[in-house]
A = this chain, B = another copy of it.
Amino acid sequence: MGSEKNRDIRLRQRPSGLPSPADFELVESEIPTPGRGQVLVRNLFMSVDPYMRGRMTNRKSYVAPFQLGEVLQGGAVGKVATSNNNDQFQAGDYVFSSNGWREWFVSDGADLQKIDPGPAPIQAYLGMLGMPGLTAYAGLLRIGGLKEEDRVFVSAAAGAVGAIACQIARNTGCEIVVGSTGSEEKRAYLIRELGITEAINYRECDDLAAALADAMPGGIDVYFDNVGGTHLTAALDNMRVFGRIVACGAIEHYNATEPPKGPPNLFQIVTKSLTMRGFIILNHFDMRERFLGDMNEWIADGKMTLRETVKEGIESAPEALIGLFHGENIGKMLVKLGEDGA
C-alpha cells in the first residue's frame, strides 16, 4: 500500500468452475494524472460480491460480461486525492464508484457518488449502506412484501446481504427469523450478534428440510434465497400457503460447470399458491433514499450492524472473491486498498 505505482487486477482467463488465482492478473502502471475537469481518486476499499462470478462467464445476462485483459469492475469507496473539478469534488471528498479492482483512477465525476462519512465507516457504503444493504431492503420489503407477522427464512444468512436481511426482518418486528449458514462460528454470530430466532448450520445437518421444520414449525412466509439448489428445495417443503420466495441469488450454482438440478418439488408453487420473484438491484435504486433513511436510523439506534472480513491489499482481491465461495467471510467481504489519509 501507498506504493507510488498504480496496481489493478484484470481477468486473464475465464474461470471454469471455482475461480483460481491463475485466472487473474495483477498489473502495475503509473498513477494516472487527472486532466482538465477530472479528479484523481485513491481507492480505500473495494467490494467482492458473489454476483461477480457471473460476469466472468461470457454469456448474455443483465449486465455485460467482463472482458479478458480489461480491469475488473465492482463497487469501491475512495477519496479524492486531486481535483480539477472543484465545483463538484474537493480533495478529501469520499466517493463511491464502480471502479474497484484498482488502486487509483481518474474520473470526470459522472461515475462518482459523494458519500457521507458521518453515519458509519466509509466502507459501510459497500455493505450496510451500499448495494448489499439495498438488495436486502428492496428484496424483503418490495419483492417479498414483508409484513410484521411474517415468519422469515434467510439463506447464506451470515453473508452481507443475508445478515442485513435478517436484521431488517427483525427490525420490522418479525418474531420468527431463521437463518442458514455454514459454520458454528457464523451460527453464533447470527444468534448472538444479530439476535435472530434460530440459525441452522447446513453443513452439520443431514436433512435441511427437517431442520427447517424443527426451527420453524409453523412454516415459512418469506424465504429470502441467496443459495438456490438444496436450500430452495428445503424451503419449498416448508413454505406456508401464500408464501413468497425472494429469489436473490444462487451461490450454490455460480461455479457449476454443468446445468444445476432444479428443485424437484417446484410444483409446490402451485399447490401452496406461492410467489417466487427474482430481482436485480439495479432496477430498485428508486428506493435508495428511503433505504438510507431507515438504515441510518437503525444504525444510530444500534439496531443494524455488519461484521467485516477484510483482506489487505489489492493483491489479495482474487483470494477474497474466491473466499466467498468457501464461506470464508462473516458479514461483508472487503479488500482494503489503502489507508485513509495516506
Contacts and interface: CB of A to CB of B under 8 A. Distances in A.
A273 B279 contact: yes
A277 interface: yes
A241 interface: yes
Contacts of A249: 270
Contacts of A275: 275-278
Interface of A: 54, 61-62, 228, 232-233, 241, 247-250, 253, 259-280, 283
A261 B260 CA distance: 10
Contacts of A276: 269, 275-277
State the copy count for this chain: 2
A247 B270 contact: yes
Contacts of A259: 264-265
Contacts of A61: 271
A261 to B, nearest CB: 6
6 contacts: A232-B266, A247-B270, A261-B261, A262-B262, A263-B266, A272-B278
Top 10 A-B pairs, shortest CB-CB distance = A262-B262, A259-B264, A270-B278, A269-B278, A262-B263, A275-B277, A276-B276, A262-B266, A247-B269, A247-B270
